[in-house]
Amino acid sequence: MRITKHPVLDIPEGKSVSFTFDGQTLVGQDGEMVSSALFANGIRTFSIHTVGDAPQGLFCANGQCAQCTVIIDGLPVKSCITPLRAGMEIKTLVHHPELPPDDKWRPANKPEELSCQVLIVGAGPSGITAAIELADRGFSVILVDDKDHLGGKLVLQTHKFFGSMADCYAGTRGTDIARILEQEARSRENITIMSGSTVAGIYADGKAGVYQDRLEKYVHVSFEGLIVATGARERSLIFPGNDLPGVFGAGAFQTLVNRDLVKSSERVLIVGCGNVGLIGAYHALQAGIEVVGLLDIAPRVTGYKVHADKIKRMGVPIYLNHTLIGVQGQGKVEEATIAQVDAQWNPLVETAKTFAVDTVLIAVGLSSADEFYHSGLAGGFPVLKTGDAGEIAEASSAMIGGRIVGREMAALLGHDISVPKEWFEKAEILKSHPGKVFERSYALPAEGGWEPMIHCYQEIPCNPCTTVCPHDSIHLTDETGTIMDLPEFGGKCIGCGLCVLICPGLAITLVRKSKTDGLAELILPHEFDHDFQQGDVVRLRDPEGLNLGDGTIIATRYNKKHRTHLITLEVPADLATRAVGILVQPEEVTKPLPEADFTYLPDNAVVCRCERVTVGEIRDFIQQNDVTDMNQLKLVRVAMGACGGKTCLDLVPRVLMQAGVKREDIHPATHRPLTVEVPMKALANQGGGQG
pLDDT tens, position by position, 310-362: 999 999 999 999 999 999 999 999 999 998 988 888 788 778 899 999 999 99
Q: What is the dihedral of CA 419, 166, 453, 445, to 10 degrees?
A: 110
- Position 104 scores a pLDDT of 81
Q: What burial letters (b/e) apply to 418-450, b meaning 16+ CB within 10 Å?
A: ebeeebeebbebbbbebeeeeeeeeebbeeeeb
Largest CA distance in the chain: 90
Do residues 283 and 258 touch, judged by C-beta distance below 8 A?
Answer: yes
Q: Regarding predicted confidence, which is higher, 278 or 673?
A: 278
pTM for the model stands at 0.90
| CA 498 from centroid of its chain's CA atoms | 28
Do residues 608 and 639 touch, judged by C-beta distance below 8 A?
Answer: yes
Q: Regarding beta strands 247-249 and 359-362, do their DSSP bridges make them parallel or antiparallel, or are they unpaired?
A: parallel
Domain ranges of the chain: 16-97+236-362, 112-232+368-430, 451-584, 603-665
Cα–Cα distance for residue pair 30/37, rounded to 1 Å = 9
Residue 691 reports pLDDT greater than 60 = no
Cα distances (angstroms) measured from residue 376 to each of 203, 267, 354: 8, 44, 48
Q: What burial letters (b/e) apply to 650-688, b meaning 16+ CB within 10 Å?
A: bbbeebbeebebeeeebeebeeeeebbbbeeebbbbbbb
Contacts for 499 with CB less than 8 Å, ≥ 6 apart? 452, 465, 468, 469, 474, 508
At the topology level, CATH places domain 112-232+368-430 in FAD/NAD(P)-binding domain (3.50.50)
Do residues 552 and 539 touch, judged by C-beta distance below 8 A?
Answer: no
- Position 576 scores a pLDDT of 96
Cα–Cα distance for residue pair 451/11, rounded to 1 Å = 36
Cα–Cα distance for residue pair 690/219, rounded to 1 Å = 9
Partners of 267 in beta bridges: 290
Confidence at 690, pLDDT banded by 50, 70, 90: very low
Confidence at 387, pLDDT banded by 50, 70, 90: very high
Contacts for 497 with CB less than 8 Å, ≥ 6 apart? 510, 523, 559, 566
Residue 600 reports pLDDT greater than 70 = no
- Position 288 scores a pLDDT of 96
112-232+368-430 and 603-665 in the same fold:
no
Q: Which CATH number fits domain 16-97+236-362: 3.50.50.60, 3.40.50.261, 3.60.9.10, 3.40.190.10?
A: 3.50.50.60
pLDDT tens, position by position, 36-89: 999 999 999 999 999 999 999 999 999 888 899 999 999 999 999 999 999 999
Q: What is the mean pLDDT of residues 462-490?
A: 95
What is the average pLDDT value for the chain, to the nearest integer? 93
Cα–Cα distance for residue pair 267/379, rounded to 1 Å = 48
Residue 425 reports pLDDT greater than 70 = yes
Q: What is the dihedral of CA 301, 302, 307, 309, to 10 degrees?
A: 20
pLDDT tens, position by position, 532-569: 999 999 999 999 999 999 999 999 999 999 999 999 99
Q: What is the mean pLDDT of residues 506-522?
A: 95
- Position 419 scores a pLDDT of 95
* CA triple 275-278-280, angle to 5 deg: 105
Q: What burial letters (b/e) apply to 247-275, b meaning 16+ CB within 10 Å?
A: bbbbbbbbbbbbbbbbbbbebbbbbbbbb
Query: How much of the chain, in percent, has pLDDT values that exceed 90?
Result: 80
Q: What is the mean pLDDT of residues 139-153?
A: 96
Residue 689 reports pLDDT greater than 60 = no
Q: Which of 215-219, 249-253, 359-363 has the lowest mean pLDDT?
A: 215-219
For residue 203, what is the enclosing H or E element?
strand 197-203
- Position 601 scores a pLDDT of 54
| Number of alpha carbons in the 13 Å side-chain half-sphere of residue 493 | 23
Quick one: DSSP state of residue 499? H
Cα–Cα distance for residue pair 448/593, rounded to 1 Å = 49
Q: What is the mean pLDDT of residues 160-188?
A: 95
CA-nearest of 352, 363, 306 to 326 is 352
Quick one: DSSP state of residue 400? H
Q: Regarding predicted confidence, which is higher, 622 or 104?
A: 622
- Position 276 scores a pLDDT of 94
Q: Regarding predicted confidence, which is higher, 518 or 215?
A: 518
| CA 470 from centroid of its chain's CA atoms | 35
Partners of 356 in beta bridges: 335
* CA triple 439-444-447, angle to 5 deg: 140
Residue 647 reports pLDDT greater than 80 = no
Residue 599 reports pLDDT greater than 80 = no
For the chain, report the end-to-end CA distance as a whole number of angstroms: 40
SS3 category, 14? coil
- Position 107 scores a pLDDT of 85
| Number of alpha carbons in the 13 Å side-chain half-sphere of residue 545 | 19
- Position 50 scores a pLDDT of 93
Q: Which CATH number fits domain 603-665: 1.10.10, 3.10.20, 1.10.3470, 3.30.360?
A: 1.10.10
